[in-house]
Amino acid sequence: MTDCQRIIDAGYSLEPTYGFNFNADNHLSPEMIFVATFDGNRTRTYGGTTFLVHSHMGGSMVQADFGTTSGWQGNRGTFNWANTFTIPGDVRANYLYVDGQEDTITDVGAFTQGVGITKWRNLNRDSTAGVEPGTFVDIDFPMFRLADYYLMYAEAAVHSGSNVATGVGYFNMVRERAVGNSSQNVSSLTLDEILDERGRELYTEGHRRQDLIRFGKFTTGAYLWQYKGGEQFGAALDSKYNLYPLPGADLNANKNLVQNPGY
């Protein structure tokens, strides 16, 4: 909590409009702490946020709505996750694309199955396109932003049982930004509530796997989603998958390394 508080006190503030954190001019957001920068002219790559925009686009989505001229299809969310968006007035749910989408994924190659995600857009705040409105995007990728630190503080407070009121206050700041008022604020917190809030706030920002591991949900059969464990409706995983295997080249280069259990 001490380290989180140092960042919280460093002068950052929440971007009032959630979606502006993922637009082409998101460098204007006061919420960004550390980003991987991307520019449609100077940092052209098919990875990074270019991938996030194009790989989420398909089905009946309109390409111009994303400031690009093509969609690659492929990435979409499960309805197990989408069904956690139960908070009235939560603007973060506005970026879930369900028009023409089927609830159940029976064919992983069919982009009209599952939930489309429209969070990443190569459009500026004034709705004009980025500098290269074709393929390559201007969206910086937020490695760390303030909302994450508010939620980390809340998580640490619940775990430790100290400064809980402060943690609840920081949690509510994230919630208020999402809803636009204090009507959905909470007076107490559980770890499961924090995990769900992180899923609603930080989706597609690279946190989910580690969050699920940290909360003890990644491999268990008690917390399932479609195609977890390679099964259509989800299945438990071997707990060894909480860690990645060490590469063989590294093991050969350093005989002091020991392979992680189960590999």
- pLDDT band, residue 103 (cuts 50/70/90): confident
- pLDDT band, residue 89 (cuts 50/70/90): very high
Average pLDDT over residues 220-231: 95
Please tell me the predicted confidence (pLDDT) of residue 121: 96
Question: Would the pLDDT of 51 be above 90?
Answer: yes
- pLDDT band, residue 145 (cuts 50/70/90): very high
Please tell me the predicted confidence (pLDDT) of residue 23: 98
158-162's contacts with Cβ under 8 Å and 24+ in sequence apart are: 158/189, 158/190, 158/191, 158/194, 159/191, 160/1, 162/1
C-alpha–C-alpha distance, residues 141 and 48, integer Å: 7
Percent of the chain surpassing pLDDT 70: 100
Q: CA angle at residue 185 from 182 to 187, to 5 degrees?
A: 135
Tell how far CA 149 is from the center of its chain: 14
- Token duo for residue 234: 């989800």
69 contacts: CB under 8 Å, gap ≥ 6: 63, 133, 134, 135
Q: CA angle at residue 77 from 229 to 79, to 5 degrees?
A: 85
C-alpha–C-alpha distance, residues 165 and 183, integer Å: 18
pTM: 0.95
116 contacts: CB under 8 Å, gap ≥ 6: 56, 57, 58, 59, 61, 76, 77, 96, 97, 98, 101
C-beta of residue 35 within 8 angstroms of C-beta of residue 142: yes
Please tell me the predicted confidence (pLDDT) of residue 251: 98
Question: Would the pLDDT of 131 be above 90?
Answer: no
Which domains, and CATH codes, for the chain?
Answer: 1-217 (1.25.40.390), 219-263 (no CATH)
Please tell me the predicted confidence (pLDDT) of residue 159: 96
| Among 186-195, 204-213, 223-232, the least confident range | 223-232
Percent of the chain surpassing pLDDT 90: 88
Express each pLDDT in 28-37 by its tens digit.
Answer: 999 999 999 9
Question: Would the pLDDT of 58 be above 90?
Answer: no
Average pLDDT over residues 90-106: 93
CA distances for 198 relative to 24, 102, 129, 153, angstroms: 23, 25, 29, 12
116 forms beta bridges with 97
Say how many CA atoms lie within 13 Å of 243 toward its Cβ.
Answer: 10
